[in-house]
């Protein structure tokens, strides 16, 4: 029996708990051996209120030994209060090597507080990636990854990425076939690769200043043109270096990745419709050739255009 502990704290995000918990529960139902036993734990045990007000009952974190420990996320936008007791307990677990340790979304902040991420690659929700890097410079934040496994520590982006991470853990324990069947049980597209981009639509990548908003509006209206960082920097009347720094600070994304996402967004409905050659769509939205568009689609959505087209046909056929 493999004991999985989900660590919560006052103000935790309920979806960061519910998605991974349901994933391990579903995997357990697929095996006659009942491989997983799930626990919801907190520092002291007892009732703990989530950010939505929903209260869950927990057992104390140190009440028993766990094989896997998954730390949920919560609001970290204000000046950090920290979770020193939780962080200290996680540090002891990491030092002992007794448990596989992971986080969902901003749970990475607690792992970083414990010191377990020092020198490691890690990720979190793209909106908080820069904040995580600033608060904990000893780790290397990759804010565009879905999830990362680095030397025994797993971190993931928010909500749905926590399910992807859980499927990866289940695949490691029980094999890829069980992970795929678990995804099917959850009606979840199995499972996005950890290196896939956290897809943030253009409406979510909203710059803070008029200067950068004007650049984004220009990009959206001129997708087939040269939209290199030097070109966009000239539009913003900044040096390329100044522009790149300001853009990342305001959006959490590099200019190149933002342009790529906008092009993928513009191409996706046309790919799904299936009425035009892929080559024409690639040229119209600014990709040099279909192969570059294919690679961009995989980075942003996890699927090549041909798969998106097949899924679009299936979806339209169900209407």
CATH code (residue 46)? 3.40.50.880
Instruction: Specify whether 88 is located in the same domain as 147.
Output: yes
The predicted structure's pLDDT at residue 313: 60
Better-predicted residue by pLDDT, 234 or 250: 234
Q: 305 pLDDT exceeds 80?
A: yes
The predicted structure's pLDDT at residue 238: 95
Q: 190 pLDDT exceeds 60?
A: no
Digit-coded pLDDT (tens) for 123-136: 998 778 888 998 99
Secondary element (H or E) of residue 51: none
Angstrom distance (rounded) from CA 293 to CA 314 = 22
Q: What is the crossing angle of helices 14-29 and 160-174, to 10°? A: 30
pLDDT band of residue 63 (cuts 50, 70, 90) is confident
Paired strand residues for 41: 7, 59
Averaged pLDDT of the chain: 87
Instruction: Specify whether 165 is located in the same domain as 41.
Output: yes
For the chain, the domain total comes to 2
The answer to whether residues 145 and 164 touch, using CB atoms and an 8 Å cutoff, is no
Q: What is the pTM of this model?
A: 0.67
The answer to whether residues 267 and 285 touch, using CB atoms and an 8 Å cutoff, is yes
First-residue to last-residue Cα distance in the chain: 44
Task: Detail the DSSP E strand segments found in 218-309.
Answer: none
Of 97, 142, 143, nearest in space to 116 by CA: 97
The predicted structure's pLDDT at residue 282: 95
Digit-coded pLDDT (tens) for 146-183: 889 999 999 998 878 899 899 999 999 998 888 888 98
Instruction: Specify whether 152 is located in the same domain as 297.
Output: no
Q: 277 pLDDT exceeds 90?
A: yes
Sign of CA dihedral 271, 202, 72, 142: positive
Instruction: Specify whether 175 is located in the same domain as 269.
Output: no
Q: 8 pLDDT exceeds 50?
A: yes
CATH number at residue 269: 1.10.10.60
pLDDT band of residue 301 (cuts 50, 70, 90) is confident
For tokens 């070109």, name the residue: 231
> If you average pLDDT over residues 11-34, what whole number do you get?
90
228 vs 99, 184, 225, 292, CA distance in Å?
45, 41, 9, 15
Residue range of the domain that includes 251:
210-317
Better-predicted residue by pLDDT, 39 or 209: 39
Instruction: Specify whether 255 is located in the same domain as 109.
Output: no
Angstrom distance (rounded) from CA 83 to CA 258 = 34
pLDDT band of residue 316 (cuts 50, 70, 90) is very low
Angstrom distance (rounded) from CA 30 to CA 45 = 30
């Amino acid at each position: 029996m493999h004991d999985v502990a989900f660590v919560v704290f006052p103000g935790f995000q309920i979806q960061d708990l519910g998605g991974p918990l349901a994933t391990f529960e579903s995997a357990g139902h697929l095996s006659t051996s009942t491989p997983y036993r799930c626990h919801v734990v907190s520092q002291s045990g007892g009732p703990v209120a989530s950010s939505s007000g929903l209260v869950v009952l927990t057992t104390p974190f140190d009440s028993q030994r766990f094989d896997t420990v998954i730390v949920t996320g919560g609001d970290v936008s204000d000046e950090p209060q920290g979770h020193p007791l939780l962080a200290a307990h996680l540090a002891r677990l990491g030092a002992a090597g007794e448990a596989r340790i992971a986080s969902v979304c901003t749970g990475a902040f607690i792992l970083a507080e414990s010191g377990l991420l020092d020198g490691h690659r890690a990720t979190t929700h793209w909106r908080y990636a820069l904040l995580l890097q600033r608060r904990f410079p000893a780790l290397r934040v990759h804010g565009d990854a879905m999830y990362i496994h680095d030397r025994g520590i797993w971190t993931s982006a928010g909500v749905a990425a926590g399910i992807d991470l859980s499927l990866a853990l289940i695949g490691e324990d029980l094999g890829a076939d069980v992970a795929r069947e678990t995804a099917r049980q959850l009606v979840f597209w199995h499972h996005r690769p950890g290196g896939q981009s956290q897809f943030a639509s253009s409406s979510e990548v909203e710059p803070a200043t008029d200067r950068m908003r004007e650049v984004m509006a220009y990009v959206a209206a001129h997708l087939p043109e040269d939209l290199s960082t030097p070109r966009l920097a000239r539009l913003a009347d900044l040096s390329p270096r100044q522009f790149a720094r300001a853009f990342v600070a305001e959006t959490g994304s590099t200019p190149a990745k933002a342009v790529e996402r906008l092009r993928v967004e513009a191409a996706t409905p046309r790919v799904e419709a299936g009425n035009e050659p892929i080559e024409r769509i690639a040229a119209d939205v600014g990709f040099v050739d279909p192969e570059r568009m294919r690679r961009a689609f995989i980075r942003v959505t996890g699927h090549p255009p041909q798969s998106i087209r097949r899924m679009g046909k299936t979806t339209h056929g169900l209407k």
